[in-house]
Chains A and B, each alone.
Chain A
Amino acid sequence: MNSDSLYYSLELVAGSGYTLNIEQRAALQTSLVILRKNYKFQRVLYWGKILGLKEDYFIAQGRGEDEMNDKKNLYSFNCMDWFLLPPATDSMIDEVSRAAKGRFTGDPSYVYEHLEIRRQGEGDEAEEEEVVTKVNEESRLAVTVHQIDEEVSVVPRGAFIKSPHGLVQVNRSFGGLSHSEAGKLDNFLHFSKPKNLKKKSILEMGDFESIY
């Protein structure tokens, strides 16, 4: 949620049980402004909270000119000091999915280890090779945030617009969905880069144009 409207938008999602206390809210209002200035973001979103055994991670997301591609995630423990998360690469996602298990500990330098025994050759000649995957919690956090964004970040239809320069930007003239529109899942779109788009034929692509 946007840092400017944090004071009322937190109330809207409070029904699920997760809220911030006054201290954290006040800290966010202050620190996110500084964050935007220091990193030269267009706007800063409060992304959420990931619970750890010892400490909780608060996540903020900075958005640049292009809302879709210029994303940077940051984490903090006290809502004041923010640390940049590395971007999630494919190899990182692969390693994390193999090694990371259980709950987040709350220590970004905690190392998850995974021992895998691979066999090469056949029969009696098989050689056993031990492959150790080591992942620290910071990269696990980066991958988790990335995957959550990728899979469940949804926006209402029409909230974003692609400018002629190819930038995805907030649609200033978007007035919200009507009551009947908001009840249909068709009117909510994944806010992530397209997958398998090129497989569609030109005929089908033509239909897309008409929808927008």
Chain B
Amino acid sequence: LEIDSQSLNSSQLKVQSAASLKAFMLKNSTKSNLNLYDHLTQLLIKVMDEQLQNVVDVIEDISHDVKRGLVEDKQSTLRDLPQTTAAELLAEQQRLLFSRPEDADQEDELVETPLPNVSEIGFYLEQAGVGLGREEMQRIFLALKQLVESQALLRCRLWGKILGTESSYIVAEAEYREGEEEEEQITDEAAEEEERETEAQDSEENEMDPLPQSTYKPAPVVPKEAIGTGANKCVYYVCKEPGLPWVKLPPVSPVQITVARHIRKFFTGRLDTPVNSYPPFPGNEANYLRAQIARISAGTQVSPQGFFQAGEEEGDEEDEAPRDSYEVNPDFEGIPVAEMAESLSTWVHHVQHILQQGRCTWVNLAVKPGEDSNEEGEAEEKEEEPDEPEPEVGPPLLTPLSQDAEMFNTPPWSSKMSSTLTSQHAAAVLRSNLWPGAYAYACGKKFENIYVGWGLKYAGEGYSPPVPPPPQKEYPSGPEITEALDPSLEEEQALKEALEEQQAAQEEMEDTDEEEEDDD
């Protein structure tokens, strides 16, 4: 029994000591809030699971691993806030350019595509020392493809890039489709009518208490050129970066062109920015951009002589009306590059000159607007009347560059070969000195124009803004408001005496009359 009780005691003690040990091991650490018991359990579980060889050698490392595993989960309690940068957004947008359309096979069958071969153009431009870099050219190529597909354009080409203070514009030139012009004109007319209505309302409101009417009459507005002709021959699309949506620019009006000639302003890169200038520019930056594009096109779009020929339909009228259409000459053989680089007479303008009036074809403003808008031919017939203004005539279409006017003692064009070492395979390069950034190249039958610059014309020796008009006269000077000299004292007295004498004479007369009456 004793042995039993002893063994019982000792076993009880053992249990107690084991329990106390376990309690000790279960005690959490004040530092890490872990306890040894759990740690060992996890360690052994890990050893059982993984059944490593020579476990005893690496037990410390496993112990370390177990501890680290507990900590790892807690390491980052902050949620990762993804910040999208502008570059990422742009990349997302541009990703669409590189997606291949599903019906790509069908497109290959089309013989003629409106898409220009921008890669080839880019190659020649690189020879000429201009261009936007190969990658950007490729992106623009894809963006043009996107534009052609979305708008179903007849013809489209890369016009150039206009740099701005915040971002730049990539400009694409396209031709109008039939039918499109009508829609535009209708919307224009609607807008004009709305304006008139608002004006009418204003005048009605003022009728109650009429304000003095201003006698200022604005100069007659030069009518806008019809879409598809003159400065509005082509339509322009711009985008900030290839991949971003293309925006169509509004047609240009003559007054915008004439004002744009007087101001110098950098582009900002946002189309809706107001253009604060003197003289005030009618419209926002989109209109200003369109006006500058029209001016640059008219001044610097050139082609090798003979590439285009005058349209056949206008054979009879050549003497009277300036030619405004041309067609590709099928017999053009190409001019040797050396000759093109040497003489400017081998290059011709193929965009109409913009007259002082802001239009390509002159319109007679002295004729009443009703008649004028109906038929321009009628206006031309009346030109012979004596008080008619002299019609402005610009150089006809396809005029050689050698006839360009020289400004500020600077020749308008500089020409050179793209390569001096291998001139046999070089291209002729033409650079405009009046519009810095306008380039043209020609090589064999291929030629292209591009503009990359700030959209400002060379101003010679500094730019001086136009002065405001002289102040208007306040009132017409007449006798009733003209200031007279004050009479001197003698004069006053003389006048006084004269008056008194007169009065005395009258009184006498009256007296005599009375007397006579009395006598009767």
Contacts and interface: CB of A to CB of B under 8 A. Distances in A.
Interface string B408-420: 1111001000111
B29 to A, nearest CB: 41
Contacts of B452: 16-18
B382 interface: no
Contact of A53 (B132, B135, B163, B433): B433
A20 B131 CA distance: 9
A21 B127 CA distance: 5
B511 interface: no
Given A11-B133, A51-B431, A102-B409, A17 B421 contact: no
A84 B510 CA distance: 114
Nearest to A103: B410
B431 A15 contact: no
A21 B418 CA distance: 8
B133 A14 contact: yes
Contacts, number: 62
Contacts of A24: 129
Chief secondary structure at chain B's binding surface: loop
Nearest to B458: A103
A14 B131 contact: yes
B410 A102 contact: yes
Contacts of A15: 132-133, 136, 161, 168
Contacts of A162: none
B453 interface: yes
B460 interface: yes
Nearest to B133: A14
Contacts of B136: 14-15
The A interface is mostly helix, strand or loop, or mixed, namely loop
Contacts of A51: 431, 436
B130 A18 contact: yes
Contacts of A20: 129
Contacts of B128: 21
A54 interface: yes
Interface residues of A, number: 20
A14 B131 CA distance: 7
Interface in A40-76: 51, 53-54
B272 interface: no
Interface string A2-38: 0000000001001111111111100000000000000
Q: Which of A17, A18, A23, A53 has the largest number of chain B CB atoms within 10 A? A: A17
A51 B418 CA distance: 14
Nearest to B160: A17
Contacts of B230: none
A11 B129 contact: no
A109 interface: no
A22 B427 CA distance: 13
B134 interface: yes
Closest A-B pairs by Cβ, 9 of them: A17-B452, A14-B133, A21-B127, A21-B129, A19-B131, A23-B419, A11-B133, A53-B414, A103-B410
Interface of A: 11, 14-24, 51, 53-54, 78, 101-103, 179
27 contacts: A11-B133, A11-B135, A15-B132, A15-B168, A16-B163, A17-B130, A17-B132, A17-B163, A18-B130, A19-B130, A19-B131, A19-B132, A20-B129, A21-B126, A21-B127, A21-B129, A22-B126, A23-B419, A23-B420, A23-B421, A24-B129, A51-B436, A53-B410, A54-B414, A101-B461, A102-B461, A179-B85
